[in-house]
């Protein structure tokens, strides 16, 4: 898997390559995706893994720049010792994507943003909140546009979660309006 510095460096390089070029707006899009999530334990050398989910809305400003908001879930990552409970981590993201078009169908992209997250335990049909925060995140990926309306992506995102790091590796599909 890509290291944190590699993903951050690629994200920043792609954002800088997008420059300040903003052409005629390409419009809104919406999508959903899923994959795997992992989070390092803050107190042990353990890494917790589960299935990730992402639902997002975006606006393509130009062929090199987009903005997105998303709901992102790391799933049920950590088993609480001595119980049958798990800790769920999820949050709302706001990010900017810098794209580097390779050709008319493929683009590389970098993403930087912030996410408002919370960690909670399911408890009799509701949730007990353990901790929450607002932290930065960044990512990089590959986008394929088979048609004018369809967008397919593979992406890796690194999230700060309090004093620990989390990673999602997702495939997503989006439709342009």
Instruction: Report yes or no: 134 and 161 within 8 Å, Cβ to Cβ.
Output: no
Residues 6+ apart with CB under 8 A from 119: 87, 88, 89, 129, 130, 131, 132, 161, 162
pTM (two decimals)? 0.77
Kindly list the structural domains of the chain, giving each domain's residue range(s) and its CATH number in brackets, ordered by start: 4-176 (2.40.160.20)
123 pLDDT more than 80: no
102 pLDDT more than 60: yes
More confident residue, 131 or 80: 131
4 pLDDT more than 80: no
Task: Give tens-digit pLDDT for 147-157.
Answer: 989 999 999 99
What is the chain's mean pLDDT, rounded? Answer: 82
The predicted structure's pLDDT at residue 25: 47
More confident residue, 33 or 18: 33
134 pLDDT more than 70: yes
């Amino acid at each position: 898997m890509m290291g944190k510095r590699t993903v951050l460096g690629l994200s920043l390089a792609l954002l800088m390559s997008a420059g300040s070029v903003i052409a005629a707006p390409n419009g809104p899009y919406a999508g959903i995706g899923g994959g795997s999530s992992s989070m390092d334990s803050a107190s042990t050398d353990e890494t917790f893994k589960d299935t990730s989910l992402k639902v997002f809305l975006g606006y393509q400003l130009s062929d090199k720049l987009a903005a997105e908001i998303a709901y992102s879930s790391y799933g049920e990552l950590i088993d609480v010792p001595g119980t049958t409970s798990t800790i769920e981590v999820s949050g709302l993201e706001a990010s900017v994507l810098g794209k580097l078009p390779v050709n008319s169908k493929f683009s590389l992209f970098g993403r930087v943003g912030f996410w408002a997250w919370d960690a909670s335990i399911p408890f009799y049909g509701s949730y007990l909140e353990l901790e929450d925060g607002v932290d930065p995140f960044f990512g990089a990926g590959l986008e394929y546009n088979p048609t004018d309306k369809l967008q397919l992506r593979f992406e890796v995102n690194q999230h700060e979660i309090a004093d620990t790091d989390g990673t999602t590796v997702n495939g997503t599909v989006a439709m342009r309006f």
